[in-house]
A and B are shown apart, each in its own frame.
Chain A
Amino acid sequence: MTIPPEVKRSLSHTVKFRSNEIELLSSFISLNASNSSSALIIHGYKSVGKTFTVENYLTYLGVRNSIIRCDECVTNRVLLQRCFNKIKSDSGKNNNNNNDQIDKLKFGKSLESFYNFANALEKFIENSNYTDHHVLVLDRFDQCMESTNDLFIAFLRLREISKLDNLSIIFIISTDIPKEIVTSTIPTIYFKPYTEIQITEILQSSQSCLFGIEEIDNNPSSYEFWKQYAKIVVDLFFSYTGSDLNLLMDIIIKIWDKFIEPVIEGKYNVNEFVKVYRQGSELFTNENVINNSLIREYSTLQEEKPTTNGNVEDLPIHSKFILIASYLASFVEQKDDLHKFSKVKAVKYKKRVFSHKPNTKNDIDSRLLSPGFFDLERMFAILSVIYRNTAPSLNQQTEINLENDVAQIEEKKDIERAKFTLSRNTDLYSQVATLFSLGLISKSAASDILGARVRWKCNISWQTAEALCKEVDFPILDYLADEP
């Protein structure tokens, strides 16, 4: 039994470009349970109208159905519970809302496993004499927060393990069909992505953005304006969005308000689309349209300006030096430490010449490689050296006082500086912990933070490090660059 042709016609009016799929649907799911397939997979790329088509089809068909949004289910247990409750409430047989206690006794307390679920459902249908055909739609079944592959098989076998014969299940998925069920013979309907022309037509068919001024909105040229606008957006962004309608819609809404400003202000007429477009053309080339990360200040609604250095500006000076030291520890090889950080100039620095192997790791600028792990102690050692050498507080001008012997003070100061180390007090450790919690440095694996095996890694980019060094006046290139 299929749906009458006039219904089909109005359906195809609502759901555009999916008549083939609707045909297929109607052959697998009908009003009569015995004529319907027990399970059906709808498969296709995201935002190609899978759920929309199925929902509309079921409504036009007039069959009882329950739609579960699986991507909103945290675990399989929640998924099963929602299925059961939804079927119960959608069946129309559940008149007595208040005696859940009785239900619990009847159907089991909680739906811990699929077996319990099947059992409870069976009991419910038996008790309530529910014989109508019921369609359970598991939307985005593959996007549940727990893996659903096992559940997939279980649902497919529902009719085998229970006496349920009036339930059809439609799975809507956008990824590949899992390998567990790839061999079973379940009918699958594939939804093709829309073409550019189709997308344009769908968007043009209904005006989703209005001017907000009645005069203009009632003007038929407003619709024309919209059509041209939708076309432009699709033309410009189709290569990026593909057939993803949601993304396109988002872009359309995002640009609209600014785009129509000249019309609202009365600068141009609604008919003059090209002029409006010419004025607002840079709106379409703005990077923020695509990356969607634009944030506005709440009080002023000012857009945030991009900055180059990450989250390091307001750190205390020691933390900045720790970051630099960790950067150096990550990007300078340990074997070069003595050469780069110690005063001992006698260390022979042999740069091996790899004439036969032109491209080894050593020939690449270390900044281009991923950061290496280092021991905390090594970083502290580097920190001591670089802090001693460049810290503003340790390299201040000496007070010129005639009473004191300047040379003597300088000498004393040098000795003191040589002994100075930041790692004496607990502040250093608390700062390392802070930097770790800010994600600026990271450690290997989730091991004990005090353990000897923990190795650390710098987590900032070269740009950030560079900006940081500029701020504290630290010549980082002296330490990074290879000497000939």
Chain B
Amino acid sequence: MSRPKRKAADRDGNDSDSSDYDAYENSFNSSHTLTDNHQQQFYTIKPNVTKKSRPDLAHVFTESLMSILSPRGKRNAIRNNRPLSSKSNLFINLFDGRESNDDVRKRYELFEEMWSQQNDKISDILNNTNKQLFIHLQQFINETNSVKYNKLPVGFLQLSSNTANNLRILQEFNKFLSSENETHTDYDYKVINISSKNCHNIKATLKELVRQVLNSIESNYYDESEDIKKENKDEEDEDGEDEEDEEEDEEVHQFQGINFGSKLLYDLDMVEEWYTKAYKSKRKLKFVILVQDTNSVSNHVLNQLIKMLYAYRSTLPLKLILGLSSNNISNWINDNFNNEVRVIINGFKFKCNDNKMLGYNILQELFLSQSSNLWLNFKTATIILSRFENSNNSIDSLLAEIKLCYAIHFYSSPLSSLIRYDTSSSLHISGLRKLPSFKRYIERKVYEDDDVSELLKSDKTIQDLLVEKREQFKLYKSDIISLITVIDKLQSLVHFTGRKEQFELYKLLIGNKLSVGSFISDLSKCYSDSVNTNFKSNFYEFRSFMISYDTECSLVLQLRASLNENQATGFSQTLAQFFNSLGKIEPLEEFVFHEVFSMNGGIITHNFQPINEESYENLMINLVRPNLRSSIEGGLDNSSTYLKNPLFYRHLQNNSNKLHPVITLLFRVYKEAPTSINIYDFFMAFKQSLNKKDIIQLVNEHADNNEYISSLDIEHNEEDWNKLAYAWFVQNCQELIMMGLLKEKSKGDHLEKVVWKGV
């Protein structure tokens, strides 16, 4: 768990800008409350921290690292050895190590509790989304093959374009069938998962198919413990066979007492023989062949596979299911199957749920239900939403982001426990005073000529304020949720093209950005009687909805009141009023102590504050989606982000050595080079780029303590200079090769740029 912090440092800018956030972060997030340079606080963690101020940091660090790295057994051992109370050791004591263990434990417990609450909701949604689809698929599998057509029944499972989601759905389906296997006694499903990596040629595919069938049969007959033994034995057997055979096609001669003669491992006859001779259970056996990523399978192999399965359609209870990402199956078949195959299949389409809607549903359920605990602030909500819509519509990744937000919040903010617990600790109270929202609150009060001395001096006042704000936040939350519901209702009643999802409305409302753009004016237009022909019926429907809708939000109540008074004629004016009043909603950022009640996803400092919503960044997104290329290139270009920064000099107390690492010099030459680089030219260019004068100075400085260096005479002896440069060159070329930026060509006289050519 110590990673986020370090990463944050990696991305930190050099310059200090004393924004509110910095103050906020410095106030409790760092070990050095007084420094304003963020790099310092992270890079000096080790040497300067005394044991006294942070007693078990090192211990915590190694242990949490171990808990991630070590295999389960070891992890358990560590856990068991630890006293229960120190379970929260995963979290470190913040406030410069002055936070009490009790508070740390509270934070940890709160995190566990709140996340598990959300996690339950998520798994509930995920488990129920595809239920209908699975039931249909099961029906399809259970059907006996129709004699009339005498074709191979093929189910085309229409999946989304996101491979990660697809895999999850297929895994769920696997789980679903195996649970059905246990509960229902009528059918015995054997699921065979084929993926494109098994499909280089038909032989490999069939081999995998037969292997999975035999494995699944085997596991039915043995207990788990025996299974392992059996596996080991099998391996030995196979080895032995290999020696005998010296052939890649292993054979199976005997299995479960059935004699297969000498069948090849890719011979489906074996499965057929097993089914006809050895399958004695009363349950109806169903082979389900699930091709997971059909789009990547070569269509030649696919055609062959279907033909093979077609040959066994009458003897084996087979069902082929192709997981396909295509929104038109017919077109896909036209493009990928030959006519012969098209004639022999009887295809059915199964549509899986739209994962985009699923994502919105999850977000809605997690944050926009009355039971939601923590909220996301505007920036985090924007980041999550824009990533989901723009670049990665994977559900798993969405969930990872949300979980990371929770983890970061509780890990890095010592005030996070205040969402539930009251406090009298002066640490917490001074932390609260440093929150930007509180500072703004004070500023406003001063501007209004209110007396702020109590707030600044008395701890009790802060405590009371916290309690008050906590209650207010609940109201604020339910107000926003009611508004979202009403606006959502308004857009769902009419035919409205610019429809926004609830979570997006949430984002806009808490950022007070609903009036930006044309959303409101477009929506109002739909409710003007000149445009909308169903105006009256819409009005009555909306009114009846409003009357039944239970809320305490004053804006909604106001709207309801004016609806009651007015008839349909004044409806558009009423709405206009309502929309106008939305601008008065206090944005979340203005809410005092909102940092306690919402998650910011971790802070990184930027040299610039982006205006573009797509350029927003925080720690969470930087961890999930690192700026790989810019980090590597930036690091290689300018080493001072990582090495030899002012901090380092202060440590060394020696400013003389300002040479850059050699690899950055080489990288500069590399950047200018063409795709294919002649090694000799590369070396010469590199040598020219070295600053000989500085190097000579450095060598002279160190000549005393190193025998080899003192033996060099690079100033006068050209050969020595060449040697040194060449050694550096070779070493650093190797490093670039290791990083994947360069590749040696087969002839050996050229290097080739690999990952980024910089066209």
Contacts and interface: CB of A to CB of B under 8 A. Distances in A.
A343 B348 CA distance: 51
A319 B386 CA distance: 13
A71 B273 CA distance: 19
Interface in B584-614: 608, 610-614
A424 B148 CA distance: 58
Contacts of B263: 81
A450 B756 CA distance: 9
Given A291-B342, A426-B626, A431 B392 contact: yes
Given A295-B329, A431-B392, A434-B162, A77 B342 contact: no
A377 B343 contact: no
Nearest to A397: B517
B277 to A, nearest CB: 11
B469 interface: no
B625 A426 contact: yes
Interface in B112-162: 136, 139-140, 148-149, 155-156, 160-162
A101 B264 CA distance: 16
A417 B354 CA distance: 32
B558 interface: no
A14 interface: no
B206 A425 contact: no
Nearest to A111: B262
A175 B634 CA distance: 62
A317 B390 contact: yes
A314 B627 contact: no
Contacts of B608: 416
A318 interface: yes
A422 to B, nearest CB: 8
Interface stretch (A59-67, A193-201, A299-307, A348-356): A299-307
B611 A426 contact: no
Interface string A118-133: 0000000000000000
B183 interface: no
Given A295-B348, A394-B612, A399-B513, A78 B625 contact: no
B720 interface: no
A98 interface: yes
A331 to B, nearest CB: 18
A246 interface: yes
Interface in B249-280: 249, 251, 253, 259, 261-264, 266-267, 269
B611 A437 contact: no
A292 B330 CA distance: 9
Nearest to B148: A253
A297 interface: yes
A427 interface: yes
Contacts of B247: 112
A122 to B, nearest CB: 18
A396 B614 CA distance: 11
A112 B244 CA distance: 14
B304 interface: yes
B347 A377 contact: no
Interface in A229-262: 246-247, 250, 253
Nearest to B386: A393
B755 A450 contact: yes
Given A145-B202, A306-B331, A416-B610, A110 B251 contact: yes
A424 B339 contact: no
A397 B295 contact: no
Interface in B461-514: 513
Contacts of A112: 247
A304 B325 contact: no
A101 B759 CA distance: 66
Contacts of A103: 261
A74 B209 CA distance: 13
Contacts of B337: 293
Nearest to A112: B247
A112 B389 CA distance: 56
B356 A314 contact: yes
Contacts of A311: 161, 325-328, 332
A78 B264 contact: yes
A424 B634 CA distance: 11
A384 to B, nearest CB: 12
A298 B350 contact: yes
Given A72-B311, A377-B758, A452-B753, A425 B628 contact: yes
Contacts of A413: 611-612
A69 B627 CA distance: 57
A306 B330 contact: yes
B293 A417 contact: no
A292 B245 CA distance: 45
Contact of B614 (A72, A309, A315, A394): A394
A365 interface: no
A211 to B, nearest CB: 13
Nearest to B150: A253
Interface string A81-92: 110010000000
B350 A316 contact: no
Contacts of B717: none
Contacts of A319: 161, 391
B389 A316 contact: yes
A437 B293 contact: yes
B149, B347, B390: which has the most chain A beta carbons within 10 Å? B390
B267 A399 contact: no
B308 interface: yes
A100 interface: yes
Interface in A380-407: 381, 391, 393-394, 396-397, 399-400
Contact of B349 (A74, A297, A397): A297
A484 interface: no
Interface in A288-336: 288, 291-299, 304, 306-307, 309-319
Contacts of B161: 311-312, 314-315, 319, 434, 438
B307 interface: yes
B333 A247 contact: no
B286 interface: no
B184 interface: no
Contacts of B267: 74, 78, 81
Given A291-B334, A295-B156, A298-B350, A304 B202 contact: no
B348 A297 contact: yes
Contact of B757 (A291, A375, A417): A375
Contacts of A391: 614
B293 A145 contact: no
B588 to A, nearest CB: 16
B752 interface: yes
B387 to A, nearest CB: 7
Contacts of B387: 427
B40 interface: no
Interface in B423-446: none
Nearest to A84: B261
Contacts of A74: 202-203, 206, 266-267, 308
A184 to B, nearest CB: 30
A423 interface: yes
B386 A314 contact: no
Contact of A426 (B251, B331, B351, B628): B628
A253 B344 CA distance: 13
Contacts of A397: 516-518
Contact of A437 (B163, B264, B349, B627): B163
A420 interface: yes
A259 B139 CA distance: 28
B304 A145 contact: yes
10 contacts: A75-B266, A78-B266, A85-B261, A112-B247, A298-B349, A316-B393, A381-B759, A412-B611, A424-B627, A450-B754
Given A293-B337, A424-B627, 19 more contacts: A81-B263, A81-B264, A85-B261, A98-B259, A109-B251, A293-B330, A293-B342, A298-B140, A311-B326, A314-B160, A315-B161, A316-B388, A319-B161, A394-B614, A399-B516, A420-B614, A434-B163, A451-B752, A452-B754
By Cβ-Cβ distance, the 4 closest A-B pairs, closest first, are A377-B759, A292-B342, A293-B333, A298-B348
